[in-house]
Amino acid sequence: MATINDILITRNLPGVETNQPSVVEKKSKSTINFSDTIKDFLEAVNKDQKEASKSVENVVLGKSDTLADAMTKLEEAGLSFQLMLEIKNKLIDAYNELNRMQV
- The model's pLDDT over 70-94, given as tens digits with 9 standing for 90+, comes to 999 999 999 999 999 999 999 999 9
When pLDDT is averaged across residues 4-23 and rounded to a whole number, the result is 57
Domain assignment present for residue 29? The answer is no
Domain assignment present for residue 100? The answer is yes
Q: How confident is the model at residue 55 (pLDDT cuts 50, 70, 90)?
A: very high
| Nearest alpha-carbon partner for 84 in 30, 14, 22 | 14
Domain assignment present for residue 2? The answer is no
Domain assignment present for residue 9? The answer is no
Q: Per the structure, how many domains does the chain have?
A: 1
Rounded (10°) angle between helices 4-11 and 67-100: 100
Distances (CA, A) of 98 to 37, 76, 89, 92, 102: 21, 33, 14, 10, 9
Domain assignment present for residue 17? The answer is no
Percent of residues, the chain, with pLDDT higher than 90 = 58
pTM value is 0.64
Domain assignment present for residue 16? The answer is no
| Nearest alpha-carbon partner for 41 in 67, 19, 12 | 12
Asked if residue 14 lies in contact with residue 23, where contact means CB atoms within 8 angstroms, the answer is yes
Domain assignment present for residue 82? The answer is yes
Q: Which helix (H) or strand (E) holds 29?
A: none
The residue range of the domain holding 96 is: 34-103
Domain assignment present for residue 93? The answer is yes
